[in-house]
Amino acid sequence: MPLEKDDTVYLWDMLDAAKAITEFVSGKAHRDYEKDRMLRGAVERHVEIIGEAAKRVSEGFRDVHSEIPWRGIVGMRNVLAHDYGEIKDDKMWILATESIPALVTVLEPLVPSSVSEE
C-alpha cells in the first residue's frame, strides 16, 4: 500500500521521537533514569509524540503494518497524557531501552529517506 502524504509525516514524527529517546537513554543506567527528572520528562514527552502521531496514521496503513503495536503505542500516550499518576518508571525504562529501539528498526524502512533527511 502506498503511503498517504499525511502518513509519511506522522511516521517521520514517530521515527524522529523514537530516535531521540534512544539518544536520551544511551549510556544511561536505570538508576540514572530514576534520579533524573529531566530525562524522565523528555522520554515521557517523546513517547506522547509517538502515540499522538501513531493515532493519526491512516487505518489502511495501520492494517497493512500490523507488526507495529499501534494500539499499545496510542494506549501508552493516553496513560501519559491523562493518567500521569500511574506512570511506572520501571515500565518506562523498559519501553525506552527495549521497545523504542525495536520500533526504530521497524519504522526506518517505512519512512522515505527524503523525508527523514529534511
Parse the chain into domains and list their residue ranges. Answer: 5-110
Q: What is the pTM of this model?
A: 0.89
Q: Give the model's pLDDT for residue 78.
A: 87
Sign of CA dihedral 30, 23, 66, 87: positive
Environment class of 54 (CB within 10 Å of its CB; exposed 0-12, middle 13-18, buried 19+):
buried
- CB contact at 8 A, 50 and 73: yes
Q: Active-site residues: which are they?
A: 77, 82
Q: What's the average model confidence in pLDDT over 107-115?
A: 83
Dihedral angle computed from the Cα positions of residues 83, 32, 73 and 5, in that order, rounded to the nearest 10 degrees: 120
- Residue 52 reports pLDDT greater than 60: yes
pLDDT of residue 115: 54
